[in-house]
Chains A and B, each alone.
Chain A
Amino acid sequence: MLRVEDASKAFDKVLFKELKLELSSGERLSITGPSGCGKTTLLRCISGLEDLDAGKIFLNGIDVSNIPPERRGIGFLFQKPVLYHHLDVAGNLRLGNRDADVSSALKEVGLDGFANRKCEKLSGGEAQRVALARALLAEPKVLLLDEPFSAVDEKLRSRLLKDTISLLSSRGTPAILVTHNLKEAKSFSKNVIMIDEMIPKD
C-alpha cells in the first residue's frame, strides 16, 4: 500500500537517513520520538509537502516521489485544526467531498447538528473532529495524523483517539500517527516506530 524506501532528509542536521517503512491496507502505524527528530517532516515528505533528499515513496506500487501533494490522494490532519473560516462547518466538509452527506459525516464524529455552525465558534476538539470528518470524506489512500489531539485535554484526547481508531477501522483506511506520547502511540497501533532509532518495535 504505502512503501517508503531509503528515505533521507536533513535540514540543519540529519533528521532521518535511509529510512524504510511499509504500511499495508487497513494497517495503522505510530511514529514517536522527541521534538525535532523529524516525525512531522517524515509525514510532510510522504504527503509531498516536502521533498525527500534521497529515497522513494510508493503508493499502491506507484512511485509518487515526484507527484505533487494534491495528486497523491493522501489525507493529512495537522497539529492545529485547519478550518476555513469563510465557510461554515458544512462548507468545510464539502471541500473533502462535494457530494458529501454532511449530516451523517458529522454524526459519525459526534457533531450532529453542527452543519451550519461558524468555524470560529468551535472548540479545539470540535474543530479537529470536523477536520477529521473532512479528511475521511475525501477517502484518502492513507491518512497522516500529525499530533492532531495535542491541543486538547487528556480525557478528551483519549476519547478522540478512540473515535478516530474506530472510524479508520470501519473504513479500512491505513493511517500513520505521529505523537510524542508513547501511550497514545501504543493505543493507536500495534506497530510503533521510534524515529530517532528507526527501529520498528512491537
Chain B
Amino acid sequence: MACSLGGCTGLKRRSENIEVAIPFLIFSALVIIPLLLALDRLIYVSGKMPWQVFSSLDEHYLSQGAIGFTFTQALLSTVLTLIIGIPIAWQLGRYNWPKIRLIRALLTLPFVTPAIVAAMGFMAILGSDGLDIRGDKSTYLVSLLFAHAWFNIALVIRFVDPVISNIDPSMEEQLRLLPAGNSLQGRIRWFWFPLMYPSVLCAAVLTFVFSFTSFAMVRWMIPRNATLETVMADVGGAAGIVDYQIFSNELVLASSTIQFIVLIVALWLLSVLQAKRNQTIAEVSESYSRKRSRIGWMILTPALVFCLSPLLAVVRASLRIAERGPVSSHRWTLDGWKSAIGGDYAYISILDALQNSLGYALLTLVIALPLGWSLSSGIHMLEKRNSYWAKPLDVLTMLPLAISGIMLGLGILLGIIRISTVFFTFWWMPAVPHIMIATPFVVRLLLPAMRRQDPLLIENAQMLAMNRWQILTQIRIPLLRGPLIVAGIIAIAMSMGEFGASWILVRTGAWDTLPVLVDQMMSRPGFDPLVKPAAMAAASLLMITTLILFLLAERFRPDGDGGMF
C-alpha cells in the first residue's frame, strides 16, 4: 500500500460518503423535487402563498368543515384502533398460541389489503345483501371508524406484540417481589406502561396519519363528507392550469399545506417514539416460552372474524347479483366474474388490469428494492459512525410513508406532467409514486435487520480478505435473504394496492391498474345489476393476489421484531 493509514481512512470515508449520498440524491429527486415543483406551480397559478389560502377551505362549499372532520375522524379512528388492537397484541405477545404465525399473519393481513378492497368489503357487509344499514346515514361515520380500525390494527400488533413477547419474565417477577410492584396498578405504572407506551404511541401516530390521509375508504364510505384528502382528489385534476379554476389551486395548496404540517409533526413524533421503543426492544432480546391463555380465544376469535369478514364479503359479493323485483333479493352467479374478465366499452378486462398492475409492481420492485437496500445500508453505516446525519436521513426515508397517495400523485401531476405534457405519454409514469410508496416499506424492513446483524460477521469476512463485492454477495445478501424477500414481496403488494396516486395519474385508459378499475366500475350507475359483482370480482382478484403475496412474505419474516410492517 502506498498510502498512509490516515490517507487510506480518508479515502475510505470519502467513498463511503459517496455511497450514502447517491441513493439519497435519487430518493430526494423522486420524492422531494416533484413536491417542491408542485408547490411552486400552485403558488404561481394561484398567486398566493400557502398561509394566505387556509381560509379558502371554509369558504368554498366543496371543502367546508373538511379540516375539522379530517382531524375528528382520524382521532376517533386512532382511539378505536387502540381499543381493539391492544388486547389482541397482548394476547399474541403474552401467551402461547398454536399456529401463532398463521394467526398473526391473518390479523395483520388487513394492513396490506388494498384500501379499495377494504372499502368494497365494508360496503358489501353494510349493503343491501348484508346488514342492510347503508340507508341510514347516521351509520356512515361509525362504519368508517371501524374500517380504519380494521385497516390499522396490524400496526398495533406489529409494534406492541414484539415488545410483550420478548420481555424477560424475570423483569415482571422481580417487580412483583418489590413493594412498588405488589399491586396491579403498581406493575402497570412501573413496568407495563413505561415498556409499552412508546410502541403503543408509535402505532397511534401512524394510525392517525393513515386515517388522516385515508382516501378510498372515505370516498366510498362517507360520500358526502369531505376530508382534506378527498378535497385534493376532487379538485386536484383542475389545479396547476393557468387561469383555470383558480379556487382549485387554493384548495389544493391549503389542504396539502395543512396535511404536510401534520405529517411532519407526526414523523418527528414517530422518530422520537421509535428511539424510545428501540431502547425497550434492546433491553429484551430473547424469546421466552409462554403460558397458554384460557380466555384468550374470546378475544382472538372475534378479532379473526373481524379481520376476515370484509375480505370474504368481497368474494361473496362478486358471486351475488341483485334480482329485479319489488322485493330486494340476490342470487348466486358467476356473471360478475364473466363481465369483469370480458371487459366492455367502458372499462378494460380485469386480466388486462392485472397485467398492468403486475407490470408496475415489477418495475417498482426492480427500483425500490435496490434503492431501499442502499438507503438502509447508508443509514446503518452513518449510525455505526454515530453521525448526526443518521437520524434526519432515517426520517427522510419515512416521508413518503406519511405523505398521502393523492399528494404524491398531485406532486407528479403538478410538478412534472403540467410542466411538460410529454410526460403524459410515458407509460411508466404511474410507477413513480408506487416506487415512492414502496421504498420506505423496504427501508423499514431492511434497516432493523441490518441493525440486528452481528458486525463480527462482516469484520470476519474482511479478515478473510474478501473485497466489498464479495462481502455484499456472499455474506450480507445471503444473511439478509429473509428480510430482502419480505421487503420485495411487500413492495410488490404495496404497488399493486396503490390507489390514490394512480387514481390521480391514470384515470380511465389502457394503463388502468386493478384498484383504479374497481373504482371505475363502482362509480358507474347502479341500474346495471352486473356492475357491482363485476367490481367485486376485480376487487377479489386484487385481494387474492395480495393475500398470496403476503402469506408468501410471512414465510420469510424473521421471528421477533421483524420490522415495522
Q: Is the CB of A69 within 8 A of B279?
A: no
B325 on the A face (CB < 8 A)? no
* Set of chain B residues within 8 Å of A80, measured between Cβ atoms: 170
What separation, in Å, do the CA atoms of A177 and B549 have in the docked complex? Answer: 55
Q: How far is the CA of A168 from the CA of B224 in the complex (A)?
A: 73
Q: A82-B170, A85-B283, A86-B279 are in contact. Are A94 and B180 (CB under 8 A)?
A: yes
Residue of A nearest to B183 (CB): A70
For A85-128 the 0/1 string (1 means CB < 8 A from B) is 11100000011111000000000000000000000100000000
Residue among B168, B177, B280 making CB contact with A69, cutoff 8 Å: B177
Q: How far, in whole Å, are A75 and B171 apart by their CA atoms in the complex? A: 14
Q: B177 — nearest CB in chain A belongs to which residue?
A: A76
Give complex CA distance A49, B195 in Å.
Answer: 21
* Cβ of A160 under 8 Å from chain B: no
Closest to B171 in A: A82
**Would you call B179 and A82 a contact (CB within 8 A)?**
no
Closest residue of chain B to A68 (Cβ to Cβ) is: B176
A86 to chain B, nearest CB (A): 4
Give the nearest-CB partner of A139 in chain B: B179
A71 to B177, CA, bound (A): 8
CA distance A135 to B174 in the complex (A): 10
In the complex, chain B residues whose CB is within 8 Å of the CB of A131? 174
A84 with B177: in contact, given A71-B182, A95-B190 (CB under 8 Å)? no
Q: Which residues of B have CB within 8 Å of A175?
A: none
Which among B174, B176, B181 has the highest number of chain A CB atoms within 10 Å?
B174
Q: With contacts A76-B173, A84-B171, A134-B178 known, what are 8 further pairs, Cβ within 8 A?
A: A71-B182, A84-B175, A84-B194, A87-B190, A87-B194, A95-B175, A95-B190, A138-B177
A2 at the interface (CB under 8 A from B): no
The 8 Å CB contact of A86, one of B168, B174, B183, B280, is: B280
The answer to whether A96 touches B179, judged by C-beta atoms less than 8 angstroms apart, is yes
Query: Which residues of A are found within 8 Å of B171, using beta-carbon distances?
Result: 82, 84
Set of chain B residues within 8 Å of A96, measured between Cβ atoms: 178-180
A132 at the interface (CB under 8 A from B): no
Q: How far is the CB of A88 from chain B (nearest CB, A)?
A: 12
Q: In the complex, A47 Cα to B177 Cα: how many Å?
A: 8
Q: Which of A49, A78, A82, A95 contacts B180 (CB 8 A)?
A: A95
**Contacts A49-B173, A69-B173; A86 near B178 (Cβ below 8 A):** no
Binary per-residue interface labels of chain A (49-78) against chain B in the complex, 1 for a CB within 8 Å, 0 otherwise: 100000000000000000011110011101
**B71 close to A (CB within 8 Å):** no
Chain A minimum-CB-distance residue to B180: A95
A163 to B232, CA, bound (A): 70
- A97: B residues at CB distance < 8 A: 179
Q: Note all chain A residues with C-beta closer than 8 A to B279.
A: 85-86
B146 at the interface (CB under 8 A from A): no
Q: How far is the CA of A131 from the CA of B178 in the complex (A)?
A: 11
Closest to B195 in A: A86
B176 partner residues in chain A, CB cutoff 8 A: 49, 68-70
Closest to B283 in A: A85
Report which residue of A68, A70, A75, A82 has the largest number of chain B beta carbons within 10 angstroms of its beta carbon: A70
A-B contact number at CB 8 A: 64
Residues of chain A contacted by B260 (CB below 8 angstroms):
none
Chain A residues whose C-beta falls within 8 Å of the C-beta of B283 in the assembled complex: 85, 120
Residue of B168, B174, B177, B181 contacting most chain A CB atoms (<10 Å): B177
Whole-angstrom CA separation of A138 from B180 in the bound complex: 9
Q: How close is A182's CB to chain B, nearest CB, in angstroms?
A: 26
Q: Which residue of B lies closest to A91 (CB)?
A: B190
Distance between B374 CB and nearest chain A CB, rounded to angstroms: 31
Residues of A within 8 A of B179 (CB): 95-98, 138
Distance of A49 Cα from B173 Cα, bound (Å): 7
Q: Which of B162-176 contact A (CB under 8 A)?
A: 168, 170-171, 173-176
**Within residues 264 to 303 of chain B, which ones have a CB less than 8 A from any CB in chain A?**
279-280, 283
CA separation between A98 and B177, bound complex, in Å? 14
A47 to B173, CA, bound (A): 10
Q: Judging by beta carbons under 8 Å apart, are B194 and A74 in contact?
A: no
Given known A-B contacts A84-B191, A86-B279, A76 and B174 have beta carbons under 8 A apart: yes
Q: How close is B533's CB to chain A, nearest CB, in angstroms? A: 54
Q: Whose C-beta in chain B lies nearest to the C-beta of A134?
A: B178
Q: Which residues of B have CB within 8 Å of A140?
A: 177
User: A70 and B191 in contact (CB under 8 A), knowing A78-B170, A84-B171, A85-B279?
Assistant: no
Q: How far is the CB of B194 from chain A (nearest CB, A)?
A: 4
Closest to B193 in A: A86
Which 3 A/B pairs are nearest by Cβ-Cβ distance? Answer: A70-B182, A95-B180, A82-B174
Q: Is the CB of A75 within 8 A of B177?
A: yes
The answer for the CA separation of A84 and B176 in the assembled complex, in Å, is: 13
In the assembled complex, the Cα of A171 lies from the Cα of B344 at a distance in Å of: 89
**CA–CA, A138 and B175, complex, Å:** 11
Expressed in whole angstroms, the minimum distance between the Cβ of A129 and any Cβ of chain B is: 15
Distance of A80 Cα from B176 Cα, bound (Å): 16
Residues of A within 8 A of B182 (CB): 70-71
CB-CB < 8 A to B177: which residues of A?
A: 47, 49, 69-70, 74-76, 138, 140
Q: Which listed residue (A49, A86, A94, A135) contacts B194, Cβ 8 A? A: A86
Cα–Cα distance between A158 and B106 once the two chains are bound (Å): 54
User: How near does chain B come to A107, taking the closest CB pair, in angstroms?
Assistant: 21
A120 to B173: give the CA distance in the assembly, Å: 20
State the CA gap A71–B178 with chains docked (Å).
9
B410 nearest CB across to chain A (Å): 42
1/0 contact string of B139-179 vs chain A (CB within 8 Å): 00000000000000000000000000000101101111111
A148 to B179, CA, bound (A): 20
**Nearest CB in chain B to that of A119: its residue:** B283
In angstroms, how far is the closest chain B Cβ from the Cβ of A119? 9
Residue on B with the closest CB to A72? Answer: B177
In the assembled complex, which residues on chain A have CB atoms less than 8 Å from the CB atom of B175?
Answer: 84, 95
Q: In residues 227-285 of chain B, which contact A (Cβ within 8 Å)?
A: 279-280, 283
Residue picked from B173, B178, B280, most chain A C-beta under 10 Å: B178
Bound Cα distance from A56 to B408, whole angstroms = 68
* A84 near B190: Cβ-Cβ < 8 Å: yes
**A134 and B190 alpha carbons, distance in the complex (Å):** 15
Can you name 10 A-B residue pairings with CB atoms under 8 Å?
A: A49-B173, A70-B176, A76-B174, A78-B173, A82-B171, A84-B191, A84-B194, A86-B194, A95-B181, A96-B178
In the assembled complex, which residues on chain B have CB atoms less than 8 Å from the CB atom of A84? 171, 175, 190-191, 194
CB distance from A200 to the nearest CB of B (A): 26
Give the distance in Å from the alpha carbon of A97 to the alpha carbon of B280 in the complex.
24
Residue of B181, B183, B190 with highest tally of chain A CB at under 10 A: B190
With the chains together, A105 CA to B174 CA distance in Å?
19
A69 cross-chain contacts in B, Cβ below 8 A:
173, 176-177
How far in angstroms is the closest Cβ of chain B from A156?
Answer: 22
Question: Complex: how many Å from CA A125 to CA B559?
Answer: 32
